[in-house]
Amino acid sequence: RVEEERCSGEGGGGRRLVAILETRAEVGEGSRDAIAVEVVRWTKEMEMEVVARLPVAVASAIPMDVDWSAQRRGRMAVATSVGVGVADIEPFQSWAMLVDPGAMPHCARWDPHSEWGLAIAADESIKIADQRLPFQAPVVSCTLKGASIKDLDFNPNRRNFIASASTDGCVRLWDLRKPTRAYTEYVRAHSHWANVVRFNPFHDSLLLSCGTDGVIQLWCTTSTAAGHEASTPVGTYPDHDASVYGLSWGTVNEFSFASVSYDGRFSVNFVPEIIKSELLLG
């Protein structure tokens, strides 16, 4: 069963690497699910070639998330319920599990501004780890009370800024230089869990969120936009009847985005024209 797919930047020969996080049922006495990461790429003949196959964990571990580093080509992080794995691919060099027995990781995100920075969302906390230091000594730690953090995304153009989505339905923006509390909270951004947050890679004041309520919200992280307060979305897209788990901005048209829900529905939407005009003309 495929749990997660994530495409890297250009791989060798200009071809992209795709990490597939999957659960396989092993056959035999005492059989149990084995979690593996399979890294593949497509050859010039458009055939799928396996670059590496990494065993992540066994038994009751649950696959969560996979992310590629923007700073180090071929470096990936995999979050499972028993820890976070870090590997260097193409050529395969190393594989190591970072285990924190006190929390269950939900996602791992590489800092696009740092070669060594890795953000890990584990239960109620965000830990920013420096890969050159012991995992048990995070550089920065942010904590919520009463809610688990489901997803993170770094601002691609501003250092030290990160967004989070959590089970209380809130979307929060954090300044890692002042980690004691979020500097902006979109309270009850979703009527149920907030699952995913994504900054626009070209216009970092635009932020998307989606949740188990089936709704996609578009936020403008500046104080006002088109007469909207910062605490209200500038766009609401109730396209799905089931929980939305996948969200991605377009790369050719930076004002487009796609979403996919648990029932398999795929949807493409666009930023409202008035918001687009303000960003382009302002």
Q: What is the pLDDT, as a whole number, of residue 110? A: 93
Judge whether residue 134 has pLDDT over 70: no
Judge whether residue 127 has pLDDT over 90: no
| Distance of alpha carbon 213 from alpha carbon 244, whole angstroms | 8
Q: Where residue 52 falls among pLDDT bands split at 50, 70, 90?
A: confident
Q: What tens digit of pLDDT does each residue of 23-36 get?
A: 554 444 444 445 56
Q: What tens digit of pLDDT does each residue of 69-108 get?
A: 888 888 888 887 778 888 887 666 666 666 665 677 888 9
Tokens describing residue 73: 């080509």
Task: Please tell me which residue, 183 or 228, carries the higher pLDDT value.
Answer: 183
| Closest C-alpha among 115, 210, 101 to residue 153 | 210
